[in-house]
Amino acid sequence: MIHFVLLISRQGKVRLTKWYSPYTQKERTKVIRELSGMILVRGPKLCNFVEWRGYKVVYKRYASLYFCMCIDEDDNELEVLEMIHHFVEILDRYFGSVCELDLIFNFHKAYYILDEILIAGELQESSKKSVARLISAQDSLVEEAKEQASSISNIIAQATK
């Protein structure tokens, strides 16, 4: 299974973290520091996998961001590399040529998307169409909810004038 997902920038700044196994806050900080140290120094032609504490961490660099997923020893590394790519392709489609800033300023949306791709540490959906459909359903309902809210606040604003 996938134990956690990390998105780290070239400078070691955390852009997204999702934990599917129990890690305390202290452990999380330690994990991030250790893995940043190991992964950010690796050259471009080397394997996209590192062994770490009996697990394996699969990572891939996209422009200035490193996407990392920690998996069990008996998982298929190349498959997980493609899961990372699957996630990136979906982000790309949603944001329209996604870049790091999209993920910084809209990290909560990236989480919503990740929650449709991975669940309980496993791939839950491999069809991009299904993911896109669900996210847009959520977004449109959210838009509806936002409109509702703004119209209510209009009424209140009017009433309190």
Of 83-112, binders to other proteins (CB under 8 A) are 83, 85-86, 88-89, 92, 97-102, 104-108, 111-112
25 binds other proteins (CB under 8 A): yes
Q: By C-beta, is 141 or 161 nearer to other proteins?
A: 141
Q: Which residues pair with 60 in a beta bridge?
A: 67
| CB closer to other proteins out of 90 and 161 | 90
Closest listed residue to residue 70, CA positions, set 137, 141, 21:
21
CA nearest to 48, candidates 73, 84, 20, 74: 84
Residue 154 within binding range of other proteins, rule CB under 8 A = no
d(CA 5, CA 70): 7
- Residue 55 binds other proteins, judged by CB under 8 A: no
CA 22-108-37 angle, 5° bins:
55
Binding to other proteins (CB under 8 A) within 114-143 occurs at 115, 119-120, 122-130, 134, 137-138, 141-142
